[in-house]
Amino acid sequence: MRLSRFGEKLTTESGILALMDDLGKALAGDRKKYMLGGGNPAHIPQMNALWRDRMQRILDTPGAFERMLSNYDPPQGNPAFIEALARLLNRRLGWPVEPGNIAVTNGSQTSFFLLFNMLGGTRSDGSHGRILFPMMPEYIGYADQAIDPAVFTAHRPVIEELDRHTFKYHVDLQAIAVDADIAALCVSRPTNPTGNVLTDEELTYLDAIARQAEVPLIIDNAYGVPFPGMIFEPATPLWNENIIVAMSLSKLGLPATRTGIIIAASEVINAVTACNAVLSLANGSIGQTVVTPLLESGEILRASEQIIRPYYQRKSQQAIGWIREAFSSDIDYRVHRCEGSLFLWVWFRNLPVSTLELYRRLKRRNTIVVPGRYFFFGLDQPWEHQDQCIRLNYAMDDSDVRMGIGLIADEVRRVQAERVGEDRNSTL
């Protein structure tokens, strides 16, 4: 079989493909696994009850179940869903959003595939557009999305050490320059993998330089407000017609419905709609049908504010407490201040091995994390920091998270002890 460049791009082994294959093999078998490496949201009982109630109401409404499963929606998305979301964004955030500013995709991953490849890459005039990430690390799922090579460029963050065991990344505002080949800027808020929330000042600055350069600013809002509200710091939502906001139903607890949302200027929405028609005819209807009445009533806001946010905030604080307890004073570590999302980002500054090697060792002990290097892409120069960090998902069962953290601490101590032994032998 002879593949095109497109086929080669999507089938050639990549970091994320190798990692996900590894994770799948690690989870095979009957032995207990401590899965701190995935991105699946928690199964929150109150949210599960809400989804069950909505499905039952659909079943009990004559014709609703059949329409949900048996009819194509327009390629832009379900009109009732889009109109309800536009009204919610107007009412809740004061955004001047109309239905023509919203499109639905088959999941957030699809949203970014479309956006990155519509904006970045080779243009009809032969020029080449790049996507600028103002601050690494960023979401692992972006890294292999662009079809054309060398589409991504990125900057290192400024690291602020808040105390002995806590730090925070900031955008290096002085380093950001929007060159002529930059087609868009892209950030996530809160950020996967670190739980970082860009400050209002950082976001406003990025918006200003993007508008000055006449390129869009893409904001991945998968964990933000108004839903799912998985954000623990005060942060002002931002949108104008130069900003593309991407949202999702996944972190509400509906990842299997594959419902992505793009909020943007009408020309962007028209382009996304055209792509949807070509690639998939229409989008999945289940998530939109389930959620539309919750948008109309505002119930989605109550659930985000009173159920989802407190649940994850408690879990994050609990997991940080377990890290402090397990790592004690003999492990040199720092945790990025958790300001949102469902992850903790742990930095082992003086670890004798890379965190890729730590990941492999932990996998043999049935504990799954994600090594940091997969979250750094587009940088001009290698950076040792990328091999000193791991991402942990704290959304799993409490007992699994606590046990997994204990096993991480134990393995780090083993690595440190081995290095001490090697150093001692080398001096004999």
Average pLDDT for residues 18-23, to the nearest whole number? 63
pLDDT (tens digit per residue) in 182-241: 999 999 999 999 999 999 999 999 999 999 999 999 999 999 999 999 999 999 999 999
User: By the 8 A CB rule, do 372 and 389 touch?
Assistant: yes
pLDDT at 235: 94
Both tokens of 420, joined, read 């001490």
Query: DSSP per residue over 172-195, as a string?
Result: -GGG----TTEEEEEEESS-TTT-
Fold of the CATH domain 5-46+303-418 = Aspartate Aminotransferase, domain 1 (3.90.1150)
Q: Beta-carbon neighbour count of residue 214 at 10 Å?
A: 8
pLDDT at 37: 86
Rounded distance between C-alpha atoms, residue 326 and residue 400, angstroms: 14
Specify the domain boundaries for CATH 3.40.640.10 within the chain. 72-297
pLDDT (tens digit per residue) in 118-158: 999 999 999 999 999 999 999 999 998 999 888 999 999 99
What's the sign of the alpha-carbon dihedral 123, 272, 51, 189?
A: positive
Residue 428 has pLDDT above 60, yes or no: no
pLDDT at 3: 84
For the chain, what is the radius of gyration of the CA atoms? 22
In the chain, % of residues over pLDDT 90: 86
Residue 14 has pLDDT above 90, yes or no: no
Looking at every residue in the chain, the average pLDDT score rounds to: 93
Q: How confident is the model at residue 339 (pLDDT cuts 50, 70, 90)?
A: very high
Select 72-297's CATH number: 3.90.420.10, 3.40.50.300, 3.40.190.10, 3.40.640.10.
3.40.640.10
> What phi and psi values does residue 200 have, to the nearest 5 degrees?
-60, -35
Residue type, 268: V
Specify the domain boundaries for CATH 3.90.1150.10 within the chain. 5-46+303-418
Parallel/antiparallel/unpaired status of strands 34-35 and 367-368: parallel
Q: Which helix (H) or strand (E) holds 276?
A: helix 266-280
CA distances from 398 to 322, 334, 378, 394, 402 (A): 10, 21, 36, 8, 6
pLDDT at 185: 98
Average pLDDT for residues 315-344, to the nearest whole number? 96
Rounded distance between C-alpha atoms, residue 191 and residue 193, angstroms: 6
pLDDT (tens digit per residue) in 245-292: 999 999 999 999 999 999 999 999 999 999 999 999 999 999 999 999
Cα 214–Cα 243–Cα 231 angle in degrees, nearest 5: 145
Residues in Cβ contact with 260 at an 8 Å cutoff, skipping those fewer than 6 apart: 104, 105, 106, 107, 108, 109, 110, 111, 246, 247, 248
Both tokens of 86, joined, read 């536009």
User: By the 8 A CB rule, do 285 and 69 touch?
Assistant: yes
Strand partners, 66: none
3-class SS of residue 349: coil
Bond before 382 cis per omega within 30 degrees: no
Within 13 Å, how many C-alpha atoms sit on residue 116's CB side? 25
Cα 383–Cα 389–Cα 392 angle in degrees, nearest 5: 150
pLDDT at 424: 58
Q: How confident is the model at residue 376 (pLDDT cuts 50, 70, 90)?
A: very high
- Of 140, 153, 208, 187, which is closest to residue 369 (Cα–Cα)? 140
Rounded distance between C-alpha atoms, residue 413 and residue 390, angstroms: 16
pLDDT at 76: 98
Rounded distance between C-alpha atoms, residue 336 and residue 150, angstroms: 29
Rounded distance between C-alpha atoms, residue 165 and residue 22, angstroms: 30
pLDDT (tens digit per residue) in 42-95: 999 999 999 999 999 999 999 999 999 999 999 999 999 999 999 999 999 999
3-class SS of residue 82: helix
